[in-house]
Amino acid sequence: MNTDQMQWQAVFFDFDGVIAASTEVKVRAFTTLFAPYGPTVQNAVVRYHLANGGLPRREKLRHCLETIAGESTNDQQLDRMGQAFADLVVDEVVAAPLITGAMSTLQQLRASSVPAFVVSGTPEDEMQLIVARKGLQSLFAGVHGSPRPKTEIILDILGRFSFTPGHCLFIGDALADYRAARETGLHFLGIVPNGQPSIFPEKVATSSTVTLEWPKKGTRPPRT
């Protein structure tokens, strides 16, 4: 690793598909949760979920129920669905292996006193529980999730710590992550699994592993 790569003031991470290889866990949970509505709804729900990675879970559930399943919702039903979803995923996400490069990158950041933050669409209390149960708590300066949107979380952290957005990096695997980085002025690295096409705009830097070594494609990180 060359010395330029450690000049970030902070690095922000999505979690599913970036820290943990848990993307399929969430797909299975949506499939199971919407099984009573039949395969047509199930398939549409999974397509929506995959196309809208990074959105707050409650927002996804409301859309799937109202727009795809054609069912009216209320807060109590969304609470029940959200709890049922959590019951399906927490243990599996805790057990999921880490994405290649995630642990070494987090250790590099800690060794260089560069704070790392989780910014996830998973409910915040659930995200904190998962991070703690995976033994990763000491590697993060903060673990954040929904119901706050990612842009709001990032702006809050930037303000509280007086970080300069152009000297910070967001590593994510969803368009919601990319948009949050754009809206807050952060650099962005898209995680794209080997053999899969990139979902990001052409000039966005991508990698199949979590890394601080900036890929050739896309804008280089700033010198500070």
Lowest average pLDDT, out of 10-24, 177-191, 209-223, goes to 209-223
- What span, in angstroms and rounded, lies between the C-alpha atoms of 49 and 23? 10
- Residue that terminates a domain, selected from 95, 121, 156: 95
pLDDT at 224: 35
pLDDT at 208: 93
In a domain, 220, yes or no: no
Q: What is the pTM of this model?
A: 0.86
- Residue that terminates a domain, selected from 65, 95, 125: 95
Domain identity same for 106 and 120: yes
Domain identity same for 114 and 181: yes
CB-facing half-sphere around the CA of 129: CA atoms within 13 A? 12
Domain identity same for 45 and 78: yes
**Strands, E, within the chain: which ranges?**
10-13, 116-123, 142-146, 168-172, 187-191, 206-207
Task: Please state the domain count of the chain.
Answer: 2
pLDDT at 215: 63
Instruction: Give alpha helix (H) positions in 112-174.
Output: 124-133, 150-161
Domain identity same for 60 and 155: no
**Is pLDDT at 87 greater than 90 in this prediction?**
yes
- Residue that terminates a domain, selected from 61, 95, 129: 95
pLDDT average, residue stretch 135-154: 96
In a domain, 218, yes or no: no
pLDDT at 222: 43
pLDDT average, residue stretch 43-64: 88
Domain identity same for 29 and 140: no
Domain limits at 171? 3-22+98-207
- Percent share of the chain, pLDDT over 90: 78
Name every residue whose Cβ is closer than 8 Å to that of residue 7 and which is 6 or more positions away in sequence. Answer: 167, 221, 222, 223, 224
